[in-house]
Structure 1
Amino acid sequence: MSTATEVTRLAARVRTGLAARHPNEPFGDLRTLPGGHSGLTYSITAGTGAYVVKAVPEGQRPVGRNDVLRQARILRALVGSPVPVPEVFAVDEREPAWFAMEFVTGEAIEPVLDEHRLDPGLCRTRMLALAGVLRDLHRTHVDGAEPLDPAAELERWARTMRAVPAPLRPGAEEVLGLLAAGIPESLPPVLIHGDFRLGNVLCRGERPSAVVDWEIWGVGDPRIDLGWFLLFADHRNFPRLGRPVPGLPTEDELLARYLDGRAVPPAFDWFRALARTKMAAIMGHNLRRHREGKYHDPDQERLPPTIAAMIRTARDILAPRS
């Protein structure tokens, strides 16, 4: 949480950085942007325009989710591509770094997890459209990132999982062992978002208008993104959390839309299981932090059934019981 003084300093820098775009036009206040945004995310108006500002917290290192310059770099690389993204208008590399991008209007709603009143048919249309966006994303070339192979991805999430107390992750060691025993060969690396789903895409009407939240983008195996995206097709994957949405595309329908006539990639079930393991690790991490008092969120107590289900279904995908 930033202090009022820190926000005031950042606001002055943002106004200076955007001044050339808005001569003699008034700026509004820098306001915290509500929602599930990691790091510092604000909005600011300038004349009739509006921007989203992402900044490194004062006193913190610009690494991981706080590496806003890395986020700005991928957004600028994608401008003009088939992947819709906000346009970046100002970047300040001085510490603490920040950048300003256009404020794209739209809804970022995950149909099976978020409270909403969207028409189920609209949810279906958006999700099918997003499968096409993911296909376009994986066809976009980006330089300057070290490829992450399936083994490295598994190692990353195994560390996260093992940082969760064992009682909160029943059966996780068996799943991690099965994953480690069957690591597939990597496909040619592509640009991956890392958390690709409707909850991270602004939509207007039936169409995606901007893919956002690029904190963990990278270059790696396309099956990493694809397995994660398909996880959100079925509310039954999320006991006590998921909401049924009639007519939502199945995993097979979304996979067919993404593949567009191509064959199903090899060893894809390994990545479906990895996605469930990743979700269990993330939820277990959040629940642990809540119970340790690092942040108070009683809603985290709803997670254990979903954590257990993710681990159980990952195991069944990897080694189905007869």
Structure 2
Amino acid sequence: MSTATDVTELAARVRAQLADHHPDEPFGDLRTLPGGHSGLTYAITAGTTSYVVKAVPPGQRPIGRNDVLRQARVLRVLAGSPVPVPRVAAVDEREPAWFAMEFMAGEAVEPVLDEHRLIPDLCRTRMLALAGVLRDLHDTKAETYEAQASEPPLDPAGELERWTRTMRAVPLELRPGGEELLDSLASRVPSDVPPVLTHGDFRLGNVLCRGERPTAVVDWEIWGVGDPRIDLAWFLLFADHRNFPQLGRPVPGLPGETELLAAYLDGRPEPPALDWFRALARTKMAAIMGHNLRRHREGKHHDPDQERLPPTIAAMIRTARDIVAPRP
């Protein structure tokens, strides 16, 4: 946890780095932004310009989700591409490392999960527009990013191995049918396709929009170079509230998986073995929710709202099994 001293020191470093961009302009205080899932997230103003600052927590190593410099690298490489991202204004690699990016106005709403008052037609338009953004992301040349990613491309077998470990860390009673699902996936691992740049958690909840237009893809903590079907299947999962029993909310007119896939493909052929990845996306969601529920029940992170998850976990596993190994 950051202290007042830590924040004061960080604020001085941020102001010093940004001063050249704002001569004779006053700086505001460095304010903590809630809701971040990686590192520490702050806001600061310089004159009339606003910035978001992401920093490694004091005393922690810049690895995994705390590797904010890795996030800054992909944002800088994507600058000027068809994929909208915030502009990186400053990077400081000294410990604790941080970077500052321009503040982008907009709202990030996951229509089938978040509380919101958006009209259904707007949700529909945004989701279809976002399919095109994902296509643009996957059209980028992977070799441009492999050196930035600092790890080898992730293939289907590697992705399954990762989520198998996560799933098996969840008690059996919280993941009914999970072992049978993992066995089915393991027996049907598809062949690789050429790797692309992947976001890792691509969905409307991680994209700022203004009106109908996506203005910035954010939350690049787990970006990588890997199979485009991983991103695509995850994006499709959020098209239907029925995938999330007791959690999801109906949004009339929202594009279903078939229409959303067509918008992404834009006339191109469907990638092979996509159903395997659709099942894997559900496996991933069940594993994440099972992990969060386990932590709550063990007292590691008290959150009674996690008790709403069991029906969705069971549904994710059940539908994934049906997708990957349909019953005759």
5 Å matches for 1:206-225? 206-225=212-231
**What is the CA–CA distance in structure 1 between the aligned matches of 2:9 and 2:318, rounded to whole Å?**
49
5 Å matches for 1:296-315? 296-315=302-321
Aligned to 2:250: 244
Residue by residue, what CA displacement relative to the aligned partner does 1:295-322 show, whole Å, maximum 9, x if unpaired?
A: 2211111111111110111001011123
5 Å matches for 1:229-268? 229-268=235-274
**What is the CA–CA distance in structure 2 between the aligned matches of 1:30 and 1:288, rounded to whole Å?**
35
3-state SS of 2:71 partner: helix
**What is the CA–CA distance in structure 2 between the aligned matches of 1:300 and 1:2, rounded to whole Å?**
27
**What is the CA–CA distance in structure 2 between the aligned matches of 1:240 and 1:4, rounded to whole Å?**
41
Aligned to 1:78: 78
Query: How far is the alpha carbon of 1:34 from its aligned partner?
Result: 2.6
Regions of 4+ moved over 3 Å: none
Residue by residue, what CA displacement relative to the aligned partner does 1:80-99 show, whole Å, maximum 9, x if unpaired?
A: 00000000000000111000
**What is the CA–CA distance in structure 1 between the aligned matches of 2:3 and 2:302, rounded to whole Å?**
20
Query: How far is the alpha carbon of 1:13 from its aligned partner?
Result: 1.1
Residue by residue, what CA displacement relative to the aligned partner does 1:246-268 show, whole Å, maximum 9, x if unpaired?
A: 00001000100100111111111
Moved more, 200-209 or 145-154: 145-154
2:39 aligned with 1:39: yes
Moved more, 297-306 or 195-204: 297-306
**What is the CA–CA distance in structure 2 between the aligned matches of 1:27 and 1:93, rounded to whole Å?**
22
**What is the CA–CA distance in structure 2 between the aligned matches of 1:182 and 1:102, rounded to whole Å?**
44
Aligned AA for 2:129?
A: A
Aligned AA for 1:218?
A: G
Aligned to 2:178: 172
Aligned AA for 1:208?
A: P
Aligned AA for 2:9?
A: R
**What is the CA–CA distance in structure 1 between the aligned matches of 2:137 and 2:65, rounded to whole Å?**
21
Aligned to 1:10: 10
Query: How far is the alpha carbon of 1:219 from its aligned partner?
Result: 0.4
Aligned AA for 2:90?
A: A
Aligned to 1:107: 107
Aligned AA for 2:238?
A: F
After superposition, the Cα gap between the structure-2 partners of 1:236 and 1:252, relative to the gap in structure 1 and judged at 3 Å, is same
Moved more, 193-202 or 31-40: 31-40
Query: How far is the alpha carbon of 1:110 from its aligned partner?
Result: 0.2
Aligned to 1:96: 96
Aligned AA for 2:97?
A: A
Matched residues, number: 322
2:117 aligned with 1:128: no
Query: How far is the alpha carbon of 1:27 from its aligned partner?
Result: 1.1
Query: How far is the alpha carbon of 1:36 from its aligned partner?
Result: 4.8
Please give the root-mean-square deviation of Cα atoms over the aligned residues, in Å: 0.9
Could you tell me which of 205, 208, 229 is aligned with 1:202?
208
**What is the CA–CA distance in structure 2 between the aligned matches of 1:213 and 1:87, rounded to whole Å?**
14
- Percent of pairs with identical residues: 83
Moved more, 33-42 or 137-146: 33-42
Residue by residue, what CA displacement relative to the aligned partner does 1:116-159 show, whole Å, maximum 9, x if unpaired?
A: 00010000000000000000000112331321100001101111
- Mind listing any 5+ residue stretches in structure 1 that lack a counterpart? none
**What is the CA–CA distance in structure 2 between the aligned matches of 1:294 and 1:6, rounded to whole Å?**
26
2:203 aligned with 1:183: no
After superposition, the Cα gap between the structure-2 partners of 1:79 and 1:21, relative to the gap in structure 1 and judged at 3 Å, is same
Aligned to 1:66: 66
Query: How far is the alpha carbon of 1:33 from its aligned partner?
Result: 1.4
Aligned to 2:53: 53
3-state SS of 1:107 partner: coil
Residue by residue, what CA displacement relative to the aligned partner does 1:188-232 show, whole Å, maximum 9, x if unpaired?
A: 000000000000000000010000000000000100000000000
2:84 aligned with 1:87: no
**What is the CA–CA distance in structure 2 between the aligned matches of 1:103 and 1:69, rounded to whole Å?**
18
3-state SS of 2:61 partner: coil
**What is the CA–CA distance in structure 2 between the aligned matches of 1:281 and 1:9, rounded to whole Å?**
39
Moved more, 12-21 or 220-229: 12-21
Aligned AA for 1:236?
A: R
Moved more, 189-198 or 260-269: 260-269
Residue by residue, what CA displacement relative to the aligned partner does 1:28-49 show, whole Å, maximum 9, x if unpaired?
A: 1111113354321111111100
2:285 aligned with 1:285: no
Moved more, 99-108 or 297-306: 297-306
**What is the CA–CA distance in structure 2 between the aligned matches of 1:306 and 1:3, rounded to whole Å?**
38
Aligned AA for 1:289?
A: R
